[in-house]
Amino acid sequence: MSSNRKKPNLGDKLEDLSRKMDNMRVAEYVALVSSPKKLFLMNFLLGLVRGIGMGIGFTLLTGLIIALLAYMLRSWVNLPFIGKIIADLIEIIENYR
């Protein structure tokens, strides 16, 4: 006796697996939304991590820009002249007191 049952091929198995994984995500989402404490904690932690990441990124970017500007200004500006101006300003401020 031969079986007329059709053997599932690889495509059918992948589709079934994909459907099951999608259903699992929906179940996780429903569980998350149904628990306000979990949802609040998750959003708070994600916001904290994003804020820290943006702070670090902004600091690195600003440091890079300042370093590039300092390098460029070093070749364009006569630093002893600027130092003399600052010294004169400090002297004026000291005399004013």
Is 3 inside a domain boundary?
A: no
pLDDT tens for each residue of 22-35? 777 777 778 878 88
Q: Domain for residue 5, yes or no?
A: no
Specify whether the CB–CB gap between 69 and 79 falls below 8 A.
no
Domain containing 43: what range? 10-96
| Predicted local confidence at residue 6, as pLDDT | 67
71 within domain boundaries: yes
Q: Is residue 72, in this structure, part of any structural domain at all?
A: yes
Per-residue model confidence as pLDDT tens digits over 37-94: 888 998 999 999 999 999 999 999 999 999 898 888 777 766 677 778 888 888 998 8
Whether 2 is covered by a domain: the verdict is no
Domains identified in the chain, total number = 1
| 33 in a structural domain | yes
User: What is the rounded radius of gyration, in angstroms, for the C-alpha atoms of the chain?
Assistant: 33
Q: Is residue 74 part of a domain?
A: yes
